[in-house]
Structure 1
Amino acid sequence: MKNKIFIWVGGVLAFFVLLFVLLFAFRSRLLNYTIERVIGKVEARYPVDFKIGNAEFVDWNSVVLSDISLVPLKKDTLFTTDSVHATVGFRSLFKGRIVFRRLEVNDSYLTAVKKGDETNYDFLLKKDEKAPQPKDTTATGRNYGQLLNRLIETAFDNVPDQVDFKNLNASYTSTNRTIDVRMPYLLIDDGDIESEVYMRTDSLVNNLLVKGTIDPGDYNISASLYTADTAGIRLPYVQQKLDAKVAFDTLHVSLEDKKFRNDKLTVRGKAMVNNLVLNHPKVAAEDVHVAEGAVDYVVTLGPNLYVIDSLTEVRVNKAKANLYASYQNETSKIIDLKVKTEQVPGNDFFNSLPSGLFENLEGIQAEGWLQYDLKFHVNMDSLEQVVFDSDLDASEDFKIVQWGNTNIEKINSSFTHTMFEYGKPIRTFTVGPANPFYAPISQISPYLRNAILTAEDAGFYNHNGFHEEAFRQAIIKNLKEGEFARGGSTISMQLVKNVFLTRQKTIARKVEEAIIVWMIENLDLVSKNRLFEVYLNIIEWGPDVYGAKDASRFYFGKQPSELNLAEAIFLTSIIPSPKRYRSSFDSAGNLRSWKSGYYRMIGGIMRRRGLISQEEYENLYPNVRLYGRARDLIVTAPDTSMVEEDTSQFELETIDMLDF
């Protein structure tokens, strides 16, 4: 019995030895057969000429492929490589495909060329007509989720266990763009990645060191990019396309998971950047520095759908916020944005603000905590339904314990104020009793105070610095007109803009304005009367005319306490565009007829709110008499005062015919 067993085992061993000998003898034929099948599949799928000059085994399972090229038909060569040394899995050979376990590639060149509308790579981006297709989305546009999923799977499914690339080169050339990427080496060993990258985009050069890990089976990759010189890592195209500069020292990015279901791709991962420098004229006037920024992202792409999931967390230094954003345009364009933070210690909030972004807030020290919540929704087909809610809450013990660059409470007493025009200082004056043109609020006509409140901010004494409905209406108007046509600013916001901020229209300025207004109003740093008094003494009312007292004397030769209703409404009417004050008058110094509509509107509102009597409203006439410097600048026609006196009675008799 034992002899039979030994004989059977010996027979099996002999069979495997024979099979091994046969495989060794016919392996070259099997390799060539497999390569022919691969070439055939590639050329059947794509319009290319794919060549492998020579292929041979150098040991039991290692092959050398040489003189490899991929040339699109009637187009420039896309890819060439001198030689490929690879360890091949025999199981993959039997399946008619090559799966490399170890890959050594020397002197490779990927050359993408675009000439007009023609390229030598567009065939790679076209949909595979023979592959199973998801439901048709061509009628509504390209599904970028599907495209990205295909690219991810193709890349990960072809990653060997070990890679050793030497002199890997890639380039892109078009009529207005040149990109060159050179990698002296790229190593992947048991999931560890290491490389050095030289990248030139037109005249911009980056030298990078790359380290990371990869797990192809789980579609997981993590990479860190480090600058190899003092210039930092700078993003190409940004300066030319966006008029911006972006640079950083280190970037860490990862893809941790991806799922493709129901035509939607969801990817999860992380990114972190160190020493980020951003410069864009619409963001801030100076370079913005972020010591450390990070994001844990969950993003979904699908047909007509782009979503940043609410699980996404954004961190700027120590301050964190959850972000949700979506854009869908299947039937109409719908935009949603939500931002929510947990309770953030006051010091962490102010210390986390990027330097160069909010000059007045830098250096502030605070106690207590802050929490922010924003909700925004707009359907471009029903703009009237815009939703905008913005809330910054603070703990009861929140307070500023030390000011930084700017003491916001300076407006509680006399201070020096400088007016700027086109970024240049044009006049500096004291806001306080030391200035002969300063007028306490009690010495300013109630007509002017109430007319300004009616036109500029009727809820000034009731709101906390913001009028969300006015801001919502401003958003609606701006979206309808496709440009910034209305601001929705309150008097508090206008005051902060004039006293603390530049006139540059940047995102940073608007955010800084909102934060300062919130502090003033919610921390009771300045009383409402004081805010209004300062506002009335610094706003522009004409050529080098600032404040109610200066304006009253410039236009009417009187004190601000002596202004009548018609004069007050005129001064209110030119606040939005004080430099265009002349356009309100004809050459004789009379208010133009189109001003009557404004008088009718403001006077009517003041009457309904009980700010003027019915008699005052009925006697309101849309005209004023100019004196002093304003008359010298405005009136160019001959003196017709006698004619005006003769017709004044007729005008008074017909005033009740005007529909005010």
Structure 2
Amino acid sequence: MKKKILIWGGSVLAFLLVLVVVLFIFRSRVLQYTIERVITKVENKYPADLNIGNAEFVDWNSVVLNDISFVPHNLDTLFTTDSVYATVSFRSIFKGRIVFKRLEVRDGYLTARKNGDVTNFAFLFKKDEPEEPVDTTKGRNYGYLLNRVIETAFDNVPDQVDFTNLNASYKSPNRFIDVRMPYLRMDDGYIESQVSILADSIENNMRVRGTIDPGDYNISASLYAFDKKGIRLPYVKRKYEGEVAFDTLHLSLNNKRYKNEKLTVKGRAMVDNLVVNHAKLNDEDIVVNESAIDYVVTLGEDLFVIDSATEVRVNEAKANIYAAYESKPTKIYDLQVKTDWVKANNFFNSLPAGLFENLDGIKAQGELKYKMNFHLNMDSLDYLTFNSDLDASKDFKVVQWGYTNLEKINGSFVHTVYEYGKPVRTFNVGPSNPFYTPISQISPHLRNAILTAEDAGYYSHKGFHEEAFRQAIIKNIEEGEFARGGSTISMQLVKNVFLSRKKTVGRKVEEAIIVWLIENQNLVPKSRMFEVYLNIIEWGPDVYGAKDASRFYFGKEPSELNLNEAIFLTSIIPSPKRYRSSFDSYGNLRSHKGYYYRLIGGIMRRRGLISQEEYDNLYPNVKLYGRARDLIVTAPDAVEEDTTEYELETIDLLDF
């Protein structure tokens, strides 16, 4: 038996040797036959000519192809290269597929052109066969698609790569892109390249270094700018009206797993000296010296999840983030942010430069911890969840103010009003200003009406009213625009005293941090904050503060305001520049004000802020005097007093 096996084995070995010899002898014919088949297949599929000037073996498994071009019919040449040198894995041939062990390309040019509807590349993406019917009950599985891309890319990575002078360009009547790669080398898993990209009038010159392990789907790469301009992202300004630049970018994919039709990828990204500029974020450049993310991301059918193991670092501050989006059967959004205890100084030092001007330079002792939870089901808006908590250790304390002393509103200070970024009026907030009014000299009707309409829980909360903010989010989603803010009086005060009025993300975050510091550290008493608020808010054309408003509209002192006048002044706080829209040409309040009077008056009655008799005698009308009357009353036959009677119906309102 052993002898038979040896004989059989020897026969097989001899056959293989003969096969190898035959392949070696006829390899040139096999190569030419293969090339002809490739050319025929390509030219049958595309309206183009594939030309290969010469092809020959230089050793047992290495091939050189010269003068290659791909030319669409009656269009500009799409691709040319002088030579391609390829070494093929002998084992892969027997597996029915070709894997390159070494690949060299010299002087390659990819030139894409577009003029109107005519291009020299669009034919590559056209489908000859009719598309299969789409199953509308199933969404697109991006996890499956990305997994295919990753596996195809990694499975076809050669052991060695040496590209020299590769060029690519795209040109249309309104856009030009030019990419130049002097070299790209990969050997034993190490990658090195130099790339220059000109796009959207922005030129980036960078070097790329990294490592790759195709067997484990691992890749790590670093992009370095080798000039003082840094690396700037093109088209951000054109498409998003912003700018993004950085010095160095590190990217890695460390692990991937595809299971149950879901792809999970893990890796890391780091950016040094990131600069972001966008009008909706902030007026100035936002600079982050160091930022990083260790990510765990899962993609599936109609599913995108950033796992809670994902850690984001901004300078010295770290946070774990969980985010999820499901599109079917309904759209569901989830976002959670959580930090461990972080030293207060590390927190303030980590705030991006240029984002929070008033907080620059703050020094503090103790520790801080933050937690936020947001959940939204688009089919159940009423169940929207939003919780945000910033906690401080018992020993937390601000020991040094930076650019702005947040305690300045405890005493007299100079206040400047800005509109569209320009100062329009400056006045002192304190006794030296004749228009300044202590809170005790302002009508209780005005104080109570403002608290009822703007912030009913002002004296009980710590600067934030989460339910009001939750309702504002719901309202804005329903309206499809920013229709409601959910700001407390504390937030409005901080916005007016310390911040610009531009609705930017940076301003809202800075506003929240300042409010938290003032309220949670008891920097300013509640009554003082409300007093300052009543003395600086806008109430009309160059009208600021309760005394100025009382005289402008009614020719009286703030202490003399009656209930009707107080509710009117409260009604125009959200839009003071539209004060004239509240009146007709005779100086009478328009009918739509009736609902507002019923709403605010009804809440004040139920809370015991006014009597039933006062509510019964409440009607939406006021008598204008002074400058306001001259600006509002335009009817030639208008009289001094309107005697129109209004009947207010009692309505049931939710107490909030």
Task: Give the TM-score of the pair, scaled to structure 1.
Answer: 0.90
CA distance in 1: counterparts of 2:603 and 2:641, whole angstroms: 33
Tell me if the contact between 1:374 and 1:390 (Cα under 8 Å) persists in the aligned partners.
yes
Q: 2:457 aligns with which of 456, 459, 462?
A: 459
2:199 aligns to what?
Answer: 201
Q: Deviation at 1:440?
A: 0.8
Q: Name structure 1 gaps, 5 residues minimum.
A: 1-6
* Inter-CA distance 485–546: structure 2 relative to 1 (3 Å threshold): same
1:510 aligns to what?
Answer: 508
| Superposed CA offset, 1:353-388 (max 9, x none) | 100001111111111111111111212222222111
Tell me if the contact between 2:105 and 2:162 (Cα under 8 Å) persists in the aligned partners.
yes
CA distance in 2: counterparts of 1:601 and 1:643, whole angstroms: 25
Tell me if the contact between 1:68 and 1:83 (Cα under 8 Å) persists in the aligned partners.
yes
SS for the counterpart of 1:314 is strand
Q: 1:478 aligns with which of 476, 484, 503?
A: 476
Q: Deviation at 1:628?
A: 2.2
SS for the counterpart of 2:59 is coil
1:105 aligns to what?
Answer: 105
Asked if 1:92 corresponds to 2:92, the answer is yes
Asked if 1:65 corresponds to 2:65, the answer is yes
CA distance in 2: counterparts of 1:74 and 1:261, whole angstroms: 48
Asked if 1:549 corresponds to 2:544, the answer is no
Q: Deviation at 1:655?
A: 5.5
* Inter-CA distance 16–330: structure 2 relative to 1 (3 Å threshold): closer
1:56 aligns to what?
Answer: 56
CA distance in 2: counterparts of 1:219 and 1:376, whole angstroms: 34
Q: Deviation at 1:42?
A: 6.3
Tell me if the contact between 2:620 and 2:646 (Cα under 8 Å) persists in the aligned partners.
no
CA distance in 1: counterparts of 2:313 and 2:590, whole angstroms: 55
The one-letter code of the counterpart of 1:209 is R
SS for the counterpart of 2:608 is coil
| Superposed CA offset, 1:10-46 (max 9, x none) | 9999999877655543333344455456667767887
* Inter-CA distance 32–409: structure 2 relative to 1 (3 Å threshold): same
CA distance in 2: counterparts of 1:125 and 1:256, whole angstroms: 32
The one-letter code of the counterpart of 1:109 is Y
Q: Deviation at 1:339?
A: 1.2
Tell me if the contact between 1:371 and 1:394 (Cα under 8 Å) persists in the aligned partners.
yes
Q: Deviation at 1:620?
A: 1.9
| Superposed CA offset, 1:412-457 (max 9, x none) | 1111100011111011111111111111111111111001000110
SS for the counterpart of 2:249 is strand
CA distance in 1: counterparts of 2:152 and 2:337, whole angstroms: 35
Asked if 1:79 corresponds to 2:79, the answer is yes
1:4 aligns to what?
Answer: none
- 1:140-539 matched pairs, under 5 angstroms: 140-539=138-537
CA distance in 1: counterparts of 2:169 and 2:606, whole angstroms: 72
| Superposed CA offset, 1:387-428 (max 9, x none) | 111111111111111111111111111111000111110111
* Inter-CA distance 376–10: structure 2 relative to 1 (3 Å threshold): closer
CA distance in 2: counterparts of 1:486 and 1:576, whole angstroms: 10
The one-letter code of the counterpart of 1:625 is K
More displaced 10-residue stretch of structure 1: 347-356 or 589-598: 589-598
* Inter-CA distance 302–171: structure 2 relative to 1 (3 Å threshold): farther
Q: Deviation at 1:542?
A: 1.1
Q: Deviation at 1:638?
A: 4.9
2:4 aligns to what?
Answer: none
SS for the counterpart of 1:58 is strand
Tell me if the contact between 2:535 and 2:545 (Cα under 8 Å) persists in the aligned partners.
yes
Tell me if the contact between 1:137 and 1:143 (Cα under 8 Å) persists in the aligned partners.
no
SS for the counterpart of 1:479 is helix
SS for the counterpart of 1:205 is strand
- 1:528-607 matched pairs, under 5 angstroms: 528-607=526-605
The one-letter code of the counterpart of 1:489 is S
CA distance in 1: counterparts of 2:569 and 2:15, whole angstroms: 107
CA distance in 2: counterparts of 1:620 and 1:82, whole angstroms: 90
The one-letter code of the counterpart of 1:501 is L
CA distance in 2: counterparts of 1:82 and 1:567, whole angstroms: 86
| Superposed CA offset, 1:139-167 (max 9, x none) | 65543333332322222222111111111
Q: Deviation at 1:93?
A: 3.5
* Inter-CA distance 127–353: structure 2 relative to 1 (3 Å threshold): farther
Asked if 1:27 corresponds to 2:36, the answer is no
Tell me if the contact between 1:251 and 1:274 (Cα under 8 Å) persists in the aligned partners.
yes
CA distance in 2: counterparts of 1:348 and 1:558, whole angstroms: 52
CA distance in 1: counterparts of 2:47 and 2:140, whole angstroms: 23
| Superposed CA offset, 1:170-223 (max 9, x none) | 233445433221101111011111111011113221111111111111121111
Q: 2:623 aligns with which of 622, 625, 637?
A: 625
* Inter-CA distance 617–56: structure 2 relative to 1 (3 Å threshold): same
CA distance in 2: counterparts of 1:94 and 1:223, whole angstroms: 33
Count of aligned pairs: 644
| Superposed CA offset, 1:97-137 (max 9, x none) | 4322122110112344556677665677689999xx9x976
Q: Deviation at 1:250?
A: 0.6
CA RMSD, 1 decimal: 3.0
CA distance in 2: counterparts of 1:40 and 1:265, whole angstroms: 38
| Superposed CA offset, 1:271-299 (max 9, x none) | 11111110000000001101011111122
The one-letter code of the counterpart of 2:476 is N
CA distance in 1: counterparts of 2:207 and 2:408, whole angstroms: 50
* Inter-CA distance 94–138: structure 2 relative to 1 (3 Å threshold): farther
Q: Deviation at 1:610?
A: 0.2
Tell me if the contact between 1:34 and 1:93 (Cα under 8 Å) persists in the aligned partners.
no
The percentage of aligned residue pairs carrying the same residue is 73
SS for the counterpart of 2:486 is coil
Tell me if the contact between 1:62 and 1:87 (Cα under 8 Å) persists in the aligned partners.
yes
| Superposed CA offset, 1:457-499 (max 9, x none) | 0000011111111111111111111110100100000000000
SS for the counterpart of 1:514 is helix
Task: Give the TM-score of the pair, scaled to structure 2.
Answer: 0.91
CA distance in 2: counterparts of 1:293 and 1:79, whole angstroms: 39
The one-letter code of the counterpart of 2:399 is V
CA distance in 2: counterparts of 1:229 and 1:398, whole angstroms: 44
* Inter-CA distance 541–463: structure 2 relative to 1 (3 Å threshold): same
| Superposed CA offset, 1:500-555 (max 9, x none) | 00011100000110111111111111111011011001001111111111111222
CA distance in 2: counterparts of 1:324 and 1:575, whole angstroms: 38
2:654 aligns to what?
Answer: none
The one-letter code of the counterpart of 1:468 is E
1:3 aligns to what?
Answer: none
CA distance in 1: counterparts of 2:45 and 2:392, whole angstroms: 62
SS for the counterpart of 2:336 is strand
* Inter-CA distance 121–158: structure 2 relative to 1 (3 Å threshold): farther
CA distance in 2: counterparts of 1:212 and 1:45, whole angstroms: 37
CA distance in 2: counterparts of 1:335 and 1:643, whole angstroms: 55
* Inter-CA distance 110–153: structure 2 relative to 1 (3 Å threshold): farther
